[in-house]
Amino acid sequence: MDVVTPDQIQVLRLLCDTVVPAVDEPGDTDGFWARRATDLGVDRAVLAALAPGQHDAIGALLDVLAGQGFRSAPPVRREQILAALGPPVTPLISLILLLTYGLTDAGGGNPNWARLGYPGPAGPVPPADPPAITPLRPEGDLELDADVVVIGSGAGGGLIAGRLAAAGARVVVLEAGRYHTEADFDQGELAAYRRCYRRGGPTPTADANVTLMAGSGLGGGTVINWTNCIRTTPRVRGQWAGHGLSDIPTLSFDQHLDAVWRELSVTDHCSEFNPAHEAMQRGAAALGWSFATAYRNWDEKRHDPALAGHLGFGDPSGAKRSTLKVYLEPAVTEHGARIVDGCRAERILVEQHRAAGVVGHWTSADGARRATVTVRAPIVVLAAGALESPGVLLRSGIGGPAAGDHLRLHPCTVTLGDYGTDMRGWWGPPQAALVNEFAAAEDGHGFLIESVQYSTGLGASAIPFSTGAGHKQVMAGYRGYASFIGLVRDRGHGRVTLDAAGETTAWYALDDELDVRNSRRAIEAQIRLHHAAGARGVRVLGHGLAPWTAGEDLEAFIARAREIPLRAGGAVLFSAHQMGSCRMGADPATSVADPRGELHDTPGVWIGDGSAFPTASGTNPMITIMALASRTAANISGSARG
Ligand SMILES: Cc1cc2nc3c(=O)[nH]c(=O)nc-3n(C[C@H](O)[C@H](O)[C@H](O)COP(=O)(O)OP(=O)(O)OC[C@H]3O[C@@H](n4cnc5c(N)ncnc54)[C@H](O)[C@@H]3O)c2cc1C
């Protein structure tokens, strides 16, 4: 049917105002407590946010609510109905919260932000450079000839396209997302998700255990990521040698790391601390834990810490040294590379067991025009990110039994410390520092404690809902919170499969015993860090766990927090680091590509992105992805010459 009926819309409106109700509160000068979700048009925004195919599922969920008497139930009973429904209704509740605190009005603001202490987008914004690239926009079905076709233009694909074009190859890049420049980046959270993120923003794994975030657009994740640069650790380099990548621990890989570091202008001179980072530093000092200022890929001359606070929504200052700026723009302007944005690679063409090119589907930005794009090339670089690269292989029937397996996510638990003072999380780089005391807590696996991009929408939706008034109460204290994450180097793994429509589906259960131990350690360490930094309260983002308040028994709270289930309905888990699903290795039974990066079963197809990692990097992966891609580019050039 794919339409939501008037009855269902009525239930949706009730649901919105159950999640964000009007609450009687004296002294409500800015209307925060009285404002309901529907006062902001959240019901209409929910329907607009749904893809057409999702209307049936939402309609069915609303019918279930109606069947349980939601329409006539008093507010408390409605909350009980939601609690009893549990995980199936959680994504819709999260969407309502995301919109309530993320939507903007015609003036670019949201009336709830005043209470949250968020001043809105920063300014002034310097004038944007004119677009450097003109992507190909097909008038009809298009056939191109090239030496190399690169699928995906993120950390890995963007670098490889740049290197090979500079070496003289005729390169075509197919990118599913769109080309955006500084002029498009208005610092708005929801607009950024629609514009620059895979599937329009944070999306759950199929089992709802982990919320996934990945970039999509020309430059991929490097356009919206948080610019935290960490070199591959000796431990991981040694482990990868055990997978057959014998040069990784040697000087030759150092040269790739050094080149990337230099080309990205990585610096620690633009990592100012906001009060949330100061809290992290204070806590680490009190506990004697190792703490480091972050290095970032950033142009010092264009740096403005106020604008840097919004860089996860696209950097309007032009300071960010993304692969778009560093590799793709010169590839096009100086070396004649051709870019097709809005073009999703469907499958790799294989002739006589070798790569022969790629077929993709192009759609114009307004969705009105479509075309088939065929690129004939003897070399295909697959770099669609670890969530999508296996999909291309599976649709093409190549890659062997490991295609899609060994998906690593660096699953993150999240805590909020309540410091009772304005933490100004929206100011300064989102990741200006980290605690690396526990990076190798056990057997080379451990966790980093880091901070996050300030956001009102995602921040609100990540705080578990149990009652409307309770959630508002938590949001009312938002300006006083510092968010930390505990980012675990996972030993266990998930998998990417294809659904009936040929779309990728990611599955991930955090059930490896070492990962469970480290996630619990990470929760405990975050709590101790907030406590040592002087927080008057600590909240672990997870369902059913009451927060700790100063004066209560901290050890008892830690004991309870360590027991929270690490899955849907328990701890809130995020991943912004997807890796390993088309991994390199010596054994075709457990890896997709050989140790140089070329498919075991299809010569001429190379894996160029984070999906090539043999195991999780344990550090924010961009630098490792790019150094590995630099090595793969050299291997491609070497094999073409040989
Ligand atoms: C919010 C956020 C913050 C982050 N912060 C940091 C950080 O501070 N430091 C760090 O080291 N890492 C960070 N990361 C991670 C880092 O950005 C990613 O690990 C990295 O970008 C992945 O590189 P990749 O080449 O594997 O894929 P991506 O950079 O994700 O690029 C893949 C590209 O392929 C395109 N694509 C997908 N399918 C197709 C298809 N079928 N056809 C054509 N194109 C396709 C996508 O649209 C995308 O543009 C962050 C990630 C996120 C989401």
Domain positions in the chain: 6-116, 128-186+231-240+247-264+321-405+580-642
For the CA of 623, the closest atom of ligand 1 is: 11
Query: From residue 542, how far is each of 267, 412, 537 by CA, in Å?
Result: 35, 12, 15
Copy the structure tokens of residue 359. Answer: 């077929």
pLDDT, block means (10 residues), the chain with 642 residues: 83 98 96 98 94 85 96 97 93 97 96 98 93 96 98 99 98 98 97 97 96 98 98 98 98 98 98 98 98 98 97 97 98 98 98 98 97 98 99 98 98 98 98 98 97 98 97 98 98 98 98 98 98 98 96 98 96 98 98 98 98 98 99 95 76
* CATH of span 128-186+231-240+247-264+321-405+580-642: 3.50.50.60
Q: Which of 232, 321, 622, 623 to mutate to test the pocket of ligand 1 (most atoms within 8 A of CB)?
A: 622
For the CA of 218, the closest atom of ligand 1 is: 49
Separation of CA 68 from chain center: 36
Q: Which of 216, 311, 448 to mutate to test the pocket of ligand 1 (most atoms within 8 A of CB)?
A: 216
Residue with CA closest to ligand 1 atom 4: 225
Separation of CA 544 from chain center: 26
* H or E stretch at 455: none
Phi first, then psi: give them for residue 16, nearest 5 degrees: -55, -45
Copy the structure tokens of residue 620. Answer: 């924010």
Residues with CB under 6 A from ligand 1: 151-157, 174-177, 213-217, 220-222, 224-228, 312, 344-345, 383-386, 388, 392, 431, 576-577, 609-610, 620-623, 625
Residue with CA closest to ligand 1 atom 38: 384
Is the interface score ipTM higher than 0.95?
A: yes
Cα(216) to centroid of ligand 1, in Å?
7
Dihedral-angle region of residue 349 (phi above 0 means left; psi in -120 to 50 means alpha; beta otherwise): beta
Cα(335) to centroid of ligand 1, in Å?
24
Whether the Cβ atoms of residue 384 and residue 610 lie closer than 8 Å to each other: no
Cα(542) to centroid of ligand 1, in Å?
27
For the CA of 392, the closest atom of ligand 1 is: 41
Whether the Cβ atoms of residue 100 and residue 112 lie closer than 8 Å to each other: yes
Res 51: pLDDT: 80
For the CA of 579, the closest atom of ligand 1 is: 26
Residue with CA closest to ligand 1 atom 47: 216
* Helix intervals (H) in 334-447: 389-396
Whether the Cβ atoms of residue 399 and residue 427 lie closer than 8 Å to each other: no
Cα(409) to centroid of ligand 1, in Å?
12
Res 308: pLDDT: 98
Q: Which of 261, 340, 363, 620 to mutate to test the pocket of ligand 1 (most atoms within 8 A of CB)?
A: 620
Of 425, 433, 450, 454, the closest CA to residue 313 belongs to 454
Cα(200) to centroid of ligand 1, in Å?
14
Full DSSP string of 580-605: -TT-B-S-TTT-SB-TTSBBSSSTTE
Cα(221) to centroid of ligand 1, in Å?
3
In the block, tokens 């074009």 appear at 165
Distance separating alpha carbons of residues 601 and 445, to the nearest angstrom:
32
Q: Quick one: DSSP state of residue 439?
A: T
Q: Quick one: DSSP state of residue 316?
A: T
Burial track 413-432 (b if 16+ CB lie within 10 A, e otherwise): bbbbbbbeeebbbbbbbbbb
Cα(621) to centroid of ligand 1, in Å?
10
Q: Which of 172, 179, 225 to mutate to test the pocket of ligand 1 (most atoms within 8 A of CB)?
A: 225
Res 2: pLDDT: 56
Cα(591) to centroid of ligand 1, in Å?
21
Task: Please give the single-letter amino acid code of residue 234.
Answer: P
Distance separating alpha carbons of residues 362 and 370, to the nearest angstrom:
6
Copy the structure tokens of residue 381. Answer: 């670089």
Whether the Cβ atoms of residue 137 and residue 115 lie closer than 8 Å to each other: no
Whether the Cβ atoms of residue 613 and residue 593 lie closer than 8 Å to each other: no
Copy the structure tokens of residue 412. Answer: 């993150």
Task: Please give the single-letter amino acid code of residue 614.
Answer: P
- State the angle between helix axes of 90-102 and 189-196 in degrees (0 to 180), rounded to the nearest 10: 120
Copy the structure tokens of residue 377. Answer: 């090339």
Residue with CA closest to ligand 1 atom 21: 221
Distance separating alpha carbons of residues 516 and 245, to the nearest angstrom:
29
Strand duo 605-607 + 447-451: pairing? unpaired
Task: Please give the single-letter amino acid code of residue 584.
Answer: M
Cα(97) to centroid of ligand 1, in Å?
26
In the block, tokens 């697959």 appear at 382
How many other C-beta atoms are found inside a 10 Å radius of the C-beta of residue 68? 16
Distance separating alpha carbons of residues 216 and 218, to the nearest angstrom:
7
